[in-house]
């Protein structure tokens, strides 16, 4: 809605925005019907569609089109008057709004992996650990990506900050990742025997209520 008001058009996916707008139960049903329409409870689906004023019968062939129409109706057409009034306020602020939107960008594995800065020279153990981290980030879901960013940077949003990695040699009982959030530094132990061990220790740290952090 704000994007439409400021720029006169929407570049982001209206369906994605709509799925964030609806209730959790509605979102689960609508996402399920997009991935596997035949397995969705049709009675529940019809109730959701009716609740959002969709009078056409959803099928596997038209569900994506119906979602786009529902999203446009709810996010663009219904608040059209409000959008028009806000346009005069927000249009002169286009650049500032783009910067704000970028600051609140949701993390993706690709973005986070590109933000990792390794030492220019690494030995064999360090290279293995670097690959473990890349694999961990590639496999991570949104929740764990956000936890990783919060652990390293203090924010669960992707703010474009580089995360500088260094390596440590710790005893087994002391071995764990250590974050320095002020400078976005991450210390990784190099003596993990394999990737599953690395992943287990990383998840254990990220999912715990107490994080090991140092102030630099």
- Tell me: the pLDDT tens digits for 21-65? 888 888 889 988 888 888 888 899 999 999 888 888 898 889 899
Rounded to two decimals, what is the model's pTM?
0.53
Alpha helices per DSSP H over the chain: 2-7, 14-21, 24-35, 42-51, 63-72, 80-90, 94-103, 109-114, 124-139, 142-153, 195-207
Q: Does 9 score more than 90 pLDDT?
A: no
- The separation between CA 191 and the C-alpha centre of its own chain, rounded to angstroms, equals 30
pLDDT digits (tens, 9 = 90+) for 170-198: 776 678 888 888 889 999 999 888 999 99
Beta-sheet pairing, 116-117 with 178-180: unpaired
CATH of domain 109-207: 3.30.2410.10
What is the three-class DSSP state of 9? coil
Q: In the 8-state DSSP scheme, what is residue 91?
A: G
At residue 203's C-alpha, the angle toward residues 199 and 204, to 5°, is 115
- Per-domain boundaries in the chain: 2-103, 109-207
Partners of 163 in beta bridges: 116
Q: With pLDDT > 90 as the criterion, what percentage of the chain qualifies?
A: 28
């Amino acid at each position: 809605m704000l994007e439409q008001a400021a720029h006169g058009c929407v570049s982001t996916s209206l369906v994605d925005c709509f799925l964030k707008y609806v209730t959790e139960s509605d979102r689960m049903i609508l996402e399920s019907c997009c991935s596997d329409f035949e397995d969705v409870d049709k009675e529940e689906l019809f109730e959701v569609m009716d609740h959002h004023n969709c009078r056409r019968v959803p099928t596997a062939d038209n569900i994506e089109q119906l979602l786009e129409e529902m999203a446009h109706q709810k996010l663009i057409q219904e608040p059209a008057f409000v959008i028009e009034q806000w346009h005069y306020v927000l249009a002169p602020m286009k650049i500032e709004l783009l910067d704000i939107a970028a600051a609140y960008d949701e993390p993706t594995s690709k973005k986070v992996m590109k933000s990792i800065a390794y030492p220019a020279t690494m030995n064999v153990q360090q290279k293995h650990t670097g690959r473990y981290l890349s694999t961990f980030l590639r496999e991570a879901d949104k929740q764990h990506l956000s936890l990783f960013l919060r652990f390293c940077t203090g924010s669960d949003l992707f703010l474009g900050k580089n995360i500088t990695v260094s390596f440590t040699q710790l005893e087994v009982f002391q071995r764990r990742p250590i974050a320095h959030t002020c400078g976005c530094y991450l210390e990784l132990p190099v003596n993990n025997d394999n990737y599953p061990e690395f992943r287990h220790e990383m998840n254990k740290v990220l999912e715990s209520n107490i994080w090991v952090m140092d102030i630099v």
